[in-house]
Amino acid sequence: MTTLTDRTHPDAPTTGHLQVHNVHKSFGTLEVLRGVDLEVRPGEVTVILGPSGSGKSTLLRVINHLERADSGFVVVDDDLVGYRHKGNTLRELPEREILKQRTNIGFVFQNFNLFPHLTALENIIEAPVAAQKRDKNEAIREARQLLKKVGLEDKADVYPRQLSGGQQQRVAIARALATNPKVLLFDEPTSALDPELVGEVLRVIKELAHSGTTLVIVTHEIGFAKEIADTVVFMDQGVIVEQGTPTQVIDQPEQQRTRAFLESVL
């Protein structure tokens, strides 16, 4: 695993610095996020653990501006996500600018979210061509390289319904990488998979963890978290209860709520 010492090397990543500042989010009377602060430095892997309903997935969706925070804000490399300053207030960006900005923050969903009417290759080139206005032939070349990277070079012309769940999720990872994102978010990427398919997806994510891309991963795979994370965050009831190295949070948690959760899943 890459260490913090490795990141002082001249070739260490310089982009992908994620900062979440005092984010609150409610749905009606249900307060889902209650003042979340989080920093992920360039190239780091942060894994978020917590029980269902703790706010993990909502936090990812706020980071990508798929959900609007009620208060607080998110910054990637000094750029506000979803907003711009106008005087002393924040004004939401037009949708077209939000879509373009989102290409810097890749998102791999729990249920793949591939376009069913598009082939694997077409799914991957959609955002680079439509949102980033890149040359289609160039996008196709890069998409084929990404399919090879996730072990699916022979599936370019196959539709999602013809792929296993693990294959669909690997296409979804390739699609997220196609825009060269600064930050890549994973929302429980293996929870919708049959157990025998989990390993093939985790292998791809492990390779990404060594590539220098900033990763934020929500997962229940505790062993996986210990193996790849620089920082583990435990959330419950909309707040960060505890965070630190995998050894600190998983092996030697300080908080009783963290210990109780880990005892229930290990």
pLDDT digits (tens, 9 = 90+) for 195-207: 899 999 999 999 9
- Averaging pLDDT over each range in 13-17, 94-98, 242-246, which range is the top one? 242-246
Sheet strand arrangement including 18-27: 30-40, 18-27, 71-76, 79-80
Residue 166 has pLDDT above 90, yes or no: yes
| Residues 236 and 257 sit within 8 Å (Cβ to Cβ) | yes
Q: How much is the pTM?
A: 0.92
| Residues 34 and 62 sit within 8 Å (Cβ to Cβ) | no
- DSSP characters for 155-184? GTT--GGGS-HHHHHHHHHHHHHTT--SEE
Assigned token pair, 201: 């997806």
In a 13 Å sphere around the CA of 202, the CA atoms on its Cβ side amount to: 21
Lowest-confidence region among 1-15, 88-102, 238-252: 1-15
pLDDT mean across residues, the chain: 93
Residue 15 has pLDDT above 60, yes or no: yes
* Structure confidence at residue 3 (pLDDT): 38
pLDDT tier at 11 (50, 70, 90 boundaries)?
low
pLDDT tier at 14 (50, 70, 90 boundaries)?
confident
Residue 8 has pLDDT above 50, yes or no: no
Residue 2 has pLDDT above 70, yes or no: no
| Number of DSSP helices (H) and strands (E) in the chain, helices first | 9, 12
Question: How buried is residue 206: exposed, middle or buried, by Cβ count under 10 Å (0-12/13-18/19+)?
Answer: middle
Dump pLDDT digits (tens) for 211-231. Answer: 888 999 999 999 999 999 999
* Structure confidence at residue 21 (pLDDT): 97
* Structure confidence at residue 74 (pLDDT): 97
- Helix or strand (DSSP H, E) at 80: strand 79-80
* Structure confidence at residue 212 (pLDDT): 86
Comparing 163 with 6, the larger pLDDT belongs to: 163
Q: At which residue do the structure tokens 């990763």 appear?
A: 215
pLDDT tier at 7 (50, 70, 90 boundaries)?
very low
| Residues 46 and 217 sit within 8 Å (Cβ to Cβ) | yes
Q: How far is CA 36 from CA 7, 24, 68, 113, 261, in A?
A: 26, 7, 14, 27, 20
Question: How buried is residue 27: exposed, middle or buried, by Cβ count under 10 Å (0-12/13-18/19+)?
Answer: exposed
Dump pLDDT digits (tens) for 98-139. Answer: 998 999 999 999 999 999 999 999 999 999 999 999 999 999
Q: What is the rounded distance in angstroms from the CA atom of residue 217 to the CA atom of residue 108?
A: 9
The amino acid that residue 193 corresponds to is L
